[in-house]
Structure 1
Amino acid sequence: MSVVPAAIVIILALSSCTAAAPSLSTEAPIPSKETATELLRATSVHEATGMTLLEGPTVGPDGDLYIVDVTAPAGSPKVIAIDPGSREQRSVYTDNTSAFTSAQFSPLDGRLYLTDFLGSIVSITADGKDPRVFFSGPVGGAPMNPDDISFDQAGNLYITDSTGAQDPYWKPQGRLVRIDGRTAEATVLAHGLPAPNGLAFTPGFDGLWVSHNTANRIDYLRLSENGREVKTAHPAIHVSAGIGQVDSLAVDADGNLYVGFHNQAAIFVYDTAGGHISTISIPTEGNGLSSATNIAIAPGTTDGYVTVSGNEGGWIYTFRSLAKGIRQSNGG
């Protein structure tokens, strides 16, 4: 073995310390920008309640877009179906007491399931017939304020309980609840959450995104094989939205996450690494629109829809998604 002179060793050591390091970019990607297009005005402000708030939406087996009007008074349409091609709309269902906050078609029985913020889950046929109370009452001894709904592949329901949504974020009372699609047995998966709102499974159903309205945070969860337990969970995305608050979620075929907002007329799109890759804006000048809460992408297409509401009424706007829609793209 040859001997290297000490002076050369020192020079080599110093040069290795001062050699240029590989360039690592710390700059966040610049989000692409898109402006949504008005499809139609679906509702006016209700005199009885002083507002209208469109949510849902979900694409039905007939290709129509089904939405709910959270604040519709008794007798006014609470579930509305819209034909995106003809722009015709029809009343599907109403009752005297409910405040429906989301809508999803079950893969188990094909019925439309509606979360009633007052504490129950109702199902109806696509034409609004045969209403059934699927679930009602307290969960774990505490009342529930069901907000959004997402089905797993077996037809079990995952519900965000937004209890505490009107309280400060430092008083977290919300929960994530699983309800068996066959027996209606309820299981609390997580508690002490800051007003959980939106939720959406990943394309492979191996992960679950959950947004927190009063924390402007989105968590990523992995569930047990039977879906009855949270195995891991961590805060995945912290959203800077000013006076806006994160609302509902939807996922496209590439796993991109679409985030709606209360008090901000825009959709933010994030990739699976948490990068903000696109912003879809809704024009607000002169129309009083202030919130773009819920998103749906028609399965197999890039036809996106968003429910937009404000002090002048409720609208449906359209946009082009970054990838095709799947079942998890229905942002109930």
Structure 2
Amino acid sequence: MQRLPIRSLAGLAAIGLLALTGCGTDTGAAGTGPAAAGGADRTIRAHKLMRLTEVHPETGMTLLEGPVLDADGGLLVVDVTAPAGAPKVLRVDVRRKTSRPVHTDDRGAYTSAQFSPHDGRVYLTDFSHGEIVSLAPDGGDPRTFFSGAVDGAPMNPDDLAFDRDGNLYVSDSRGLSEGEAKGRVVRIDRDGRNATVLADGLAAPNGISFDTEYRGLWVSELTENRVSYLLLDGEGGVSSRHTALRVDGGIAQTDSIAVDADGNVYQALHGRPAMVVYDRHGERLATVEVPARDAEGLTSATNVAITPGGTRAYMTVSGPAGGYLYAFDAPAEGIRQSNGG
């Protein structure tokens, strides 16, 4: 596996990243559920489910990402910094709190995972090598779906989203290591033959998710702590683009994004084991946090999977203490846009 600089790996994933007794909301000074509905920020306390990984001596890190629930309710999670031979994709039984490896190789640095609505395979973004890899649902039959330059420049694919027909929309975090706004959003046809740039000049785009109507894309820009909204034209292009959210993250930066059935946007934070929740109009509704006693040794909450049709949510959290799954009750039900990516 090509060794990325630690700074770049830490800012992946999305740089390019889960029986729930005890989960729920904190109704203390931060606010209550009804108050949150009126726009007040409340705190949702996540509950530690299990530790999945430890820091790898070979890379000096572990970084969990891409939680996605399969058709049987198993949770797939990727470990971005796993070395060659170590599990790079794990399947978690969230009821039994057990896990097992389902895929490894000698080179990939996978920053996201999502099932395709077209062929049912799980797709992974390889940030290091600019590739999209697909696996059978059980983790076998690895295939390179897409590789190579797009408009003359190689990709650093971080997260991905599928439209209803199975076409891929990828956040390309070009320019991250140089600190330049060279990032792009790339559309790849579901057969992997045609790739086009939908938007460029983005500041290390990381999270990407459709809204509930598939009219547009929410895209987080890591080095500017903002979320852009790209309105699609219905013909494979973008008709407009604007800054939709400015995230006051302090030392933390905007990582992956998810969207629930009510259209709420879940913005994960790199640099803090937390995520913030906004409604579609930009009102900050809640902050999902791990208990204060757990926060030491955890530096990022990279992504979330919300159970389709339910509110049980699983958040990937990592740091020097290891890679963990935390669980909480989401404000609204999960859909495809809040299950992987």
TM-score, length basis structure 1: 0.89
Q: SS of the counterpart of 2:293?
A: coil
Match of 1:113 among 113, 116, 123: 123
Deviations 1:29-56, CA, capped at 9 Å, x for gaps: 3212111000100000001111100000
Matches within 5 A, 1:275-286: 275-285=283-293
| Whole-angstrom CA distance in 1 between matches of 2:305 and 2:336 | 9
Q: C-alpha distance in 1, partners of 2:56/2:94?
A: 24
Q: How many Å separate the matches in 2 of 1:246 and 1:55? A: 14
State yes or no: 1:100 paired with 2:118: no
Query: In the alignment, is residue 262 of structure 1 matched against residue 270 of structure 2?
Result: yes
- What is the match of residue 3 of structure 1? none
Displacement after TM superposition at 1:231 (Å): 0.5
Question: 1:157 is matched with which residue: 168, 191, 194?
Answer: 168
2:287 is matched by which residue type in structure 1?
Answer: T
Alignment pair present for 1:79 and 2:89: yes
Q: Name the Cα RMSD after superposition.
A: 1.1
- Structure 2 segments unaligned to the other structure (5+ residues): 1-37
1:266 and 1:125 map into 2 onto residues whose CA distance is: 32
Bigger Rg, structure 1 or 2: 1
CA deviations 1:114-158 (Å, max 9, x no partner) are: 000021000001111111000001111111100001000000000
Partner of 1:19: none
Structure 2: distance between partners of 1:276 and 1:163: 29
Shift of residue 208 of structure 1? 1.0
C-alpha separation in 2, matches of 1:164 and 1:330: 27
Deviations along 1:297-328, whole A, 9 cap, x unmatched?
A: 01010011110000011000001111100011
Q: Which residue of 2 aligns with 1:221?
A: 230
How many pairs align? Answer: 302
Q: Give the Cα separation in 2 of the matches to 1:139 and 1:148.
A: 16
Partner AA of 1:52 in structure 2: T
Amino acid at match of 2:224: A
CA distance in structure 2 between the aligned counterparts of 1:67 and 1:284, rounded to whole angstroms: 24
- Give the Cα–Cα distance (whole angstroms) in 2 for the partners of residues 167 and 216 of structure 1: 17
Amino acid at match of 2:311: T
In the TM superposition, structure 1's runs of 4+ consecutive aligned residues that sit over 4 Å from their partners are none
Three-state SS of the structure 2 residue aligned to 1:325 is: coil
Give the whole-Å Cα distance in 2 for the aligned partners of 1:33 and 1:166: 33
Kindly, what percent of the aligned residue pairs are identical?
54
Contact kept? 2:254, 2:268, Cα under 8 Å:
yes
**What are the residue-to-residue correspondences of 1:298-309 with 2, within 5 Å?**
298-309=307-318
Higher relative contact order at CA 8 Å, sep ≥6: structure 1 or structure 2?
Answer: 2
State the shift of 1:187 in Å: 0.5
TM-score, with length taken from structure 2: 0.87
Asked if structure 1 preserves the Cα contact closer than 8 Å seen for 2:207 and 2:255, the reply is yes
Q: Secondary structure at the match of 1:299?
A: coil
Contact kept in structure 2, 1:200 and 1:331, CA below 8 Å: no
* One-letter code aligned to 1:258: Y
Cα distance in 1 between the residues matched to 2:257 and 2:243: 15
Give the letter aligned to residue 76 of structure 2.
Y
Moved more, 86-95 or 159-168: 159-168
Matched, 1:181 2:181: no
Could you give the per-residue CA deviations for residues 168-198 of structure 1, whole angstroms, max 9, x where no partner exists? 3xx2010000000024311000111100000
Give the AA of the match of 1:252. Answer: D
The whole-number CA distance in structure 2 between the counterparts of 1:283 and 1:323 is: 22
Whether contact under 8 Å (1:57, 1:67) holds in the other structure is yes
